[in-house]
Amino acid sequence: MIALLRQFAKFTGVGFMSAIGHYGLLIALVQLAAVQPVPASAAGALLGAWINYSLNYRYTFRSTRRHRESVLRFGIVAAIGLVLNTLFMWIGVDVIGVHYLLSQIVTTGLVLIWSFAGNRFWTFHSATGIE
């Protein structure tokens, strides 16, 4: 259990780094380029996913899978995360009318749970049980 919590803490730290890229691009697109918040969030999520894969592969999960296999799995988990991100942002911003940054904070927390579970138990999981 301690190892799982330690790994989740690393995942969250990597997520923080990814969030800097995600939120930075989101804010830049909305404030500087007048892009609507939902597509700007989707673009930020893609940047965050790239950062997330790079750091989680080596640091959090210390994967021994070949990139060809793990990047495909990561892409599937990230694509589902992107759909969830876009759905939750749409609900928050367009349906409920919450400010886009507040909506993104809530959305990030919800998608974090999906991403950790999907990546830990499928993307980077090794057949030997060593992670």
* Structure confidence by residue, pLDDT tens digits, 81-125: 999 999 999 999 999 999 999 999 999 999 999 999 999 999 987
**Full-prediction pTM beyond 0.85?**
no
pLDDT of 129 strictly over 70 = no
Quick one: which H or E segment has residue 9?
helix 2-33
Residue % of the chain over a pLDDT of 90: 79
Q: Extract the tokens encoding 57.
A: 């592969």
Residue carrying the six token digits 């700007």:
40
Tally DSSP H helices, then E strands, for the chain. 4, 0
- What tokens were used for 52? 């997330």
Per-residue confidence at 127, pLDDT binned at 50, 70, 90?
low
Calculate ∠ Cα 131-58-53, nearest 5°: 100
pLDDT number for residue 21: 97
Per-chain mean pLDDT for the chain: 91
How far is Cα 8 from Cα 68, in angstroms, rounded to an integer?
24
Taking a C-beta distance cutoff of 8 angstroms, is the pair 131, 124 a contact?
yes
**Is the pLDDT at 128 greater than 60, yes or no?**
no
Average of pLDDT values for 62-66? Answer: 84
